[in-house]
Amino acid sequence: MVLSVFFLHWKYQSAAIRVVQVAPMPMVNRLCGSRRLGSVRWHSCCPAALALRTKTGSSNTGHTVRIANKRLLTNSTPEVFFSGALHGDERLGPATVTELASFLCEEYGVDTQVRRLVDFRATWIMPMTNAFGYAAHRREENSMDPNRDFPYLHTRPERCMQTQTARAVNELFRRHLFQFMITFHGGMRALTYEWGSRNHMTMPQRRSTEPPDETAFREVGQAIQAAAGKTLHRRWFYPLGRINDLVYPVEGGMEDWSYAAGWEKSPTPITVCKPNTYGGYAEERTKYRRDSISTLVYLAEMDNYKTAPDNSLGHRLEIWSPSATNGHIARNLRMCLKTIEMTRPEVVVLPPSMPSSAGDGATSLSVQIYGFGCHQMTARLVAVPSSVVPGCLVGEDGGDLEQEQFQQILQKSVKMDATEGHCRGLSLWNASTPPPRVLQGAVPTGEEVCVLIAAEFDQQWARQTRPDPLVTPRSHAARGRLEERYQVKANDGPMMIKARRTKLFAVGGPIRLEATSATTMTAKDTVDQPALAISEETTMATSDPHTSLGSSIWQQARLVPTTTFVNLHPRPEEPEDVTYAQDFFSIAAISFALSIAVGCAMLLRNRQEVAIKANVKDAQTRSELAEMVGKDPI
């Protein structure tokens, strides 16, 4: 199983902070990832990840969970963060984020879209951000409110970073570059974004000013709002707006800090903290690298009650069936899944079809694509000499390519077709989704080329009216889409963002088409490859590994791409008896292939039966086996 759960364990003693990193833990429970065994909970799949503990007094212990595919993780994998309970008496958040972790673990093996969310993004979760308050069923941590404790707009440096909760979040944000975040609260119902502080208000109206990322905040917020659904009165379940307008302004809020700590001025409003609690906290920990903390953050106030009634939580199956009667958990899970999706804009490429005659010594290539993790997409189908892109390897989206190579790709590319419009996105809970877009064009003949998709996403996020302060969009998510080249490093550790406005996605490995006649064309394999110009496994794995035989094949295809050569020659007329002989041998070959397939199927079935018997034998008692599958013993 390639899915891994990684957790940070933090513990604060009276004098210092100790952050212990535990190695990635492979998921070995063979029952995980099966929808028919939906009763298997997350702790059955990832027991260590739910080993949450809290202690009273001068020490506090909790866990931060990362869910990702460890085989595909890099130091530039896009990251998203969810906070369960910054206030300990607001109880719905931890239930939501632990169910999110369970959902991602269990559905990874059976749903290709969930697998895409896990394979190409890293989801970080603090189930009980304020572990002390949650254990004591109190809002504060030792009479200190964590959501007034972040280094934003404090006039007294000793009055911020006093809590273990704020320090834990600060340490995590220093090491990572979160593009999106939802922090869950309770006591009212609203979905809000920046600004949420008094220094960004108009007077005397007491209304929030416009954040530089207003368009991105609003569009992503509307997508999250739609995922949560509507009420029985056909109104959105979560009203959407700015924090100052729908909630109230605060100093030291996590929301303002996590959005602006990397680019607003210090020490005002970004405070350099010098607390004395718990043995103190080094002031260097609240000095940040330029642009390092620039998250699009949403404050989700989930219910008028801080502890929502049990009968309002809903059922797991409601995730796939949005309705006005859905419970809290299903609504919030859909919001989280949509947020994870938006963390990485990409083009999903379905297996292409070719060849077909296009005349004049060319061959027509047809590719189906759709946008994922975006609102708007402009995409072009281009052919580039393989000498510029060895092996057609462009990485995840071309962000890791050297600038010189990237410029050569753009300069030497030949445009074959183009399209623009709305992205399709997640369809887990949508009954109807738009069909893929079709790009087709003539592949140049006579040279080895790579066929790529060059795409730009969400360029409308640059729109502003009266931003406060007067700067261009500042968030990682927006700048990675809008700027020609955007690179930034975390304050601590290896994490970085390497993004470009134009992103590249490979359709397959290198291909070469040779034509000697423009009238009659046939495909002939010259290097022991299939007659089609692109190996199906390579194409599917490189473009969309979830439609191939698995991520291992995808990895292999990325490292060792297949080169296929196709010769197009006139076909001579064949004698009639030769045609009959070919038909006979074709029938014989098909019969032989069917026999082999049936034999393999029977062998596979026998092996599965043996494995099932072995699993039953491994269980010492019927009670143990029943516990494994989440049912009462018979």
The number of residues making up the chain comes to: 634
Q: How far apart are CA 484 and CA 462, in angstroms?
A: 13
- pLDDT over 70 at 187, yes or no: yes
Q: How confident is the model at residue 554 (pLDDT cuts 50, 70, 90)?
A: very low
Q: What is the per-residue pLDDT across 284-310, written as a single tens digit (0 to 9) for each?
A: 999 999 999 999 999 999 999 999 999
Q: Rounded distance, CA 543 to CA 396, Å? A: 9
Q: What pLDDT score was predicted for residue 158?
A: 96
Give the Cα separation of 340 and 534 in Å (integer): 32
Residue 510, pLDDT above cutoff 50: yes
Residue of higher predicted confidence among 524 and 607: 607
Q: Does pLDDT of 14 surpass 60? A: no
| Structure tokens that stand for 51 in this block | 């080993």
Q: What is the mean pLDDT of the chain?
A: 79
| Tokens 């989280």 sit on residue | 336
Predicted pLDDT at 583: 53
Residue with tokens 């309705």: 323
Average pLDDT over residues 522-544: 33
Q: What is the mean pLDDT of residues 267-271?
A: 96
> How many whole angstroms from its chain centre is CA 68?
9
Q: What is the spatial distance between Cα 351 and Cα 535, in angstroms, rounded to a whole number?
A: 10
Instruction: Quote the pLDDT of residue 209.
Output: 97
pLDDT of residue 584: 52
- Give the best-scoring range by mean pLDDT among 146-155, 310-319, 528-537: 146-155
CA–CA separation, 406 and 476 (whole Å):
21
User: Residue 137: what are its φ and ψ, rounded to 5°?
Assistant: 55, 45
Alpha-carbon distance of 112 to 37, in angstroms, equals 18
Q: In the chain, pLDDT over 90 holds for what percent of residues?
A: 63
Who contacts 61 (Cβ-Cβ below 8 Å, separation ≥6)?
A: 9, 10, 11, 53, 54, 55, 131
SS3 assignment, position 425: coil
Integer CA distances (angstroms), 123 to 104, 227, 410, 429, 601, in order: 10, 18, 33, 20, 38
3-class secondary-structure state, position 67: strand
Flag whether pLDDT at 78 surpasses 70.
yes
Task: Match 């949650």 to its residue by tokens.
Answer: 134
pLDDT at 316: 84
Q: Going by C-beta distance under 8 Å and a sequence separation of 6 or more, which residues neighbour residue 409?
A: 384, 388, 389, 394, 398, 401, 452, 504
Q: What are the distances in angstroms from CA 321 to CA 107, 189, 228, 302, 479?
A: 16, 22, 11, 20, 34
C-alpha distances in Å from residue 302, one per residue of 185, 190, 217, 327, 596: 6, 7, 19, 11, 57
pLDDT grade for 555, boundaries at 50, 70 and 90? very low
Three-state SS letters, 53-64: CCCCCCCCEEEE
- Asked whether the beta carbons of 267 and 298 are under 8 A apart, the reply is no
Which tens digits make up the pLDDT trace of 588-621? 666 667 767 766 667 666 656 545 444 444 444 4
Residue 510 contacts residue 450 (beta carbons within 8 Å):
yes
Q: How far apart are the first and last CA of the chain?
A: 30
Distance of CA 475 to the CA centre of its chain: 17
Structure tokens at 499: 């993004």
pLDDT tens by residue, 55-67: 333 344 467 899 9
Task: Assess contact for 567 and 525: CB atoms under 8 A.
Answer: no
What is the distance between the alpha carbons of residues 422 and 249, in angstroms, rounded to a whole number?
A: 35
| Beta-ladder partners of 348 | 370
C-alpha angle 353/359/361, rounded to 5°?
90
The pLDDT value recorded for residue 90 is 95
3-state secondary structure (DSSP) of residue 547: helix
- On whether the CB atoms of residues 274 and 283 are closer than 8 A, the answer is yes
Given a contact cutoff of 8 angstroms between Cβ atoms, the answer to whether 88 and 136 are in contact is: yes
Q: Dump pLDDT digits (tens) for 90-127.
A: 999 999 999 999 999 999 989 999 999 999 999 999 99
What's the pLDDT band for 49 if we cut at 50, 70, 90? very low
pLDDT over 80 (residue 567): no
